[in-house]
Structure 1
């Protein structure tokens, strides 16, 4: 009698788009000599024209051999002429956006990402299959969700920039993948076309 192959873990991917992009801009500012470090870029509110490649980010977050349950990109509602979100959809991401508030601040994104990740953990993820939630974000507000998933036997991989990830989030995850060494590969030479 042939032995059964254990089920392969399924990955569920959740991307905090604004934070990936904002922190990537700060690294770009340092590389262009506009700031001494990412914190300096933040203090001085240095902006650059940096864009990242969704497909390459996805490849870093998930091995090509992985089974993917869901891939969701969260962020603020883009301008009508912003092609990045269409590219994300073409790369296989479900896109969830929210309007900014009257002060042009992003609202509802982190809590929506966290809530969706938690809901998916009950509805779709299976500890018996050793499923993994892949969080592309660095905010410490995600820690309670990460701890909840881990208590129930699910794996958590955090993927983010080293300078912008919460220490507690990094330590709470089973695995931390640093984006920094992949900055060049993630960078688009120019703004993508729709």
Structure 2
């Protein structure tokens, strides 16, 4: 991992994330359809924070002008807000181009640079539209890091300390897609206990991430999910792990590559975002990020 510039006098890390750039370039980098590719913002922050003391986190993204905002994005932003991050979204213009995202991040970068003791500025994007605040940060003796996907990294950033998101993507990215059972081994989990999980995806993501596997799963309904694996041994290990947990009345079933007599999930989501948000638990911004990484599913 590249080291930040060494002028910083504070250990605080200030993180600025261009959500649209991270998700779009990530799906392109990993060759995963954009509507199936997801980024867990809490885990992304933990990854780029890299054990250092956190100052603030700013996240900006965009929404369609005419079509509904994808519910996966709404949920991601809602959770980030509940974690105490500064989140701002902007409606795209009539040509479906982003407007305001870069300006919002750049303005907040300048404010932090000019009003805080020099620390470490972490910019998570490959977009080159941040040369002014980056140059100002270097002038004011801030440490600077760029985290981006290799294919989407601007040439101007290559002279700065930078880290490839691709090298760390298994710690924060996940795929929600109903795979063909001819291409993946599937593990079916379900039960009413899932309703009590603080964040429904967390126990699943925790299993994949701690084993350095790309997290791949799909919710068939509110309490039933398929988890996907590339190897039979991975399926067996996952089955044994879930069976070892004290989850009352949870059912675990190895489906292998041949799901018979089991309803395959559809690629569409019928549930409206407004209905999903009402089910989200409330989290306090004062809770440590690591404590919030996983709570209630183990």
The TM-score normalised by the length of structure 1 is 0.76
For residues 53 and 34 of structure 2, the distance between their equivalents in structure 1, rounded to whole angstroms, comes to: 37
Q: Identify unmatched segments of 5+ residues in structure 2.
A: 1-8, 178-200, 202-275, 281-298
For residues 21 and 164 of structure 1, the distance between their equivalents in structure 2, rounded to whole angstroms, comes to: 11
Aligned to 1:161: 149
Q: Deviations over 1:74-120 (max 9, x none)?
A: 11147284211112223432101112112221101112111110111
Equivalent position SS for 1:170: helix
Aligned to 1:99: 91
Higher helix proportion (structure 1 or 2) = 1
For residues 47 and 86 of structure 1, the distance between their equivalents in structure 2, rounded to whole angstroms, comes to: 20
Instruction: Give the root-mean-square deviation of aligned CA atoms.
Output: 2.2
Q: How does 1:1-194 map to 2 (within 5 A)?
A: 8-29=10-31, 47-64=34-51, 66-77=52-63, 79=69, 81=71, 82-124=74-116, 126-127=117-118, 131-171=119-159, 173=160, 175-190=161-176, 194=280
For residues 62 and 11 of structure 1, the distance between their equivalents in structure 2, rounded to whole angstroms, comes to: 7
Deviation at 1:164, TM superposition (A): 0.9
Deviation at 1:8, TM superposition (A): 4.6
Deviation at 1:72, TM superposition (A): 0.9
How has the CA–CA distance of structure 1 residues 168 and 177 changed in structure 2, closer, same or farther, with 3 Å as cutoff?
same
For residues 47 and 70 of structure 1, the distance between their equivalents in structure 2, rounded to whole angstroms, comes to: 28
Deviation at 1:48, TM superposition (A): 4.7
Greater C-alpha Rg? 2
For residues 27 and 58 of structure 1, the distance between their equivalents in structure 2, rounded to whole angstroms, comes to: 20
Contact 1:54 1:91 in 2 (8 A): no
Q: Deviations over 1:2-32 (max 9, x none)?
A: xxxxx75111110000000001111232xx6
